[in-house]
Amino acid sequence: MGSVPPELSLDFRPTFVPKTISSFLKEVSLIGNVSDKVSILDAFVKRLEEEMRKIDAFKRELPLCMILLNDAIVALKEESVQCMSRNVEPVLEEFIPLKNKKGSNQSEEDGVLVTNKKEKDSNNSSNCNNNKDKKNWMSSVQLWNTDDDDNCSIDRKLDTKQRNIGDSTQGCKNRGGVTACMPFKADLGFAKTARKQRRCWSPELHCRFVNALQQLGGSQVATPKQIRELMQVDGLTNDEVKSHLQKYRLNTRRLSPSTTSPANQSVVVLRGGLWMSQDQHEESSKGSSSQSDSPQGPLLLATNTRGNSIPGVQSMEDDEDAKSKSNSWKGHIHKPGKDDCIESIASMNFADI
- Judged by CB under 7 A, does residue 198 bind DNA? yes
Cα 340–Cα 342–Cα 348 angle in degrees, nearest 5 = 130
| Phi, then psi, of 216 in degrees rounded to 5 | -90, 0
At 192, the amino acid letter reads K
131, 151, 238, 284: which one contacts DNA (CB under 7 A)? 238
Taking alpha carbons only, the member of 323, 269, 324, 328 closest to residue 295 is: 269
Give the nearer residue to DNA in terms of CB position, either 94 or 352.
Answer: 352
Binding segment for DNA (CB under 7 A), chosen from 14-22, 47-55, 103-111, 325-333, is 325-333
Footprint (CB under 7 A) of DNA, residues 146-165: 158
- Judged by CB under 7 A, does residue 239 bind DNA? yes
Taking alpha carbons only, the member of 7, 80, 91, 15 closest to residue 46 is: 80
246, 259, 261, 309: which one contacts DNA (CB under 7 A)? 246
- Judged by CB under 7 A, does residue 196 bind DNA? yes
Rounded to an integer, what distance in angstroms lies between the CA atom of residue 200 and that of residue 334? 8
- Judged by CB under 7 A, does residue 46 bind DNA? no
- Judged by CB under 7 A, does residue 23 bind DNA? no
Give the nearer residue to DNA in terms of CB position, either 137 or 329.
Answer: 329
Taking alpha carbons only, the member of 347, 264, 244 closest to residue 306 is: 264
Rounded to an integer, what distance in angstroms lies between the CA atom of residue 213 and that of residue 39? 58
24, 58, 275, 329: which one contacts DNA (CB under 7 A)? 329
243, 284, 291, 292: which one contacts DNA (CB under 7 A)? 243
Cα 334–Cα 339–Cα 342 angle in degrees, nearest 5 = 60
Give the nearer residue to DNA in terms of CB position, either 60 or 281.
Answer: 60
Footprint (CB under 7 A) of DNA, residues 294-313: none
146, 225, 303, 335: which one contacts DNA (CB under 7 A)? 225
Give the nearer residue to DNA in terms of CB position, either 102 or 199.
Answer: 199
In what order do the strands lie in the sheet containing 274-277? 274-277, 267-271, 300-303
CB neighbour list of residue 187: distance below 8 Å, 6 or more residues apart = 144, 194, 195, 197
Concatenated DSSP letters of 272-315 = TTEEEEHHHHHHHHHH--SS--STTSS-EEEE-THHHHSSS---
Binding segment for DNA (CB under 7 A), chosen from 37-45, 243-251, 269-277, 282-290, is 243-251
For residue 227, the minimal CB distance to DNA (Å) is: 8
Concatenated DSSP letters of 43-81 = HHHHHHHHHHHHHHTTTTT-HHHHHHHHHHHHHHHHHHH
Give the nearer residue to DNA in terms of CB position, either 197 or 256.
Answer: 197
- Judged by CB under 7 A, does residue 331 bind DNA? yes
226, 284, 292, 314: which one contacts DNA (CB under 7 A)? 226
- Judged by CB under 7 A, does residue 244 bind DNA? yes
For residue 198, the minimal CB distance to DNA (Å) is: 4
For residue 277, the minimal CB distance to DNA (Å) is: 22
What is the Cα 143 distance to its own chain's centre? 21
State how far the alpha carbon of 160 is from the alpha carbons of 77, 110, 153, 155, in Å: 42, 34, 9, 6
Rounded to an integer, what distance in angstroms lies between the CA atom of residue 194 and that of residue 210? 30
168, 247, 259, 282: which one contacts DNA (CB under 7 A)? 247
- Judged by CB under 7 A, does residue 259 bind DNA? no
Residue 331 host element (H or E): helix 322-331
237 in Cβ contact with 158 (< 8 Å): yes
For residue 250, the minimal CB distance to DNA (Å) is: 8
- Judged by CB under 7 A, does residue 201 bind DNA? yes
- Judged by CB under 7 A, does residue 199 bind DNA? yes
For residue 252, the minimal CB distance to DNA (Å) is: 12
Q: Which residues bind DNA (CB under 7 A)?
A: 158, 195-201, 223-226, 238-240, 242-247, 249, 251, 328-333
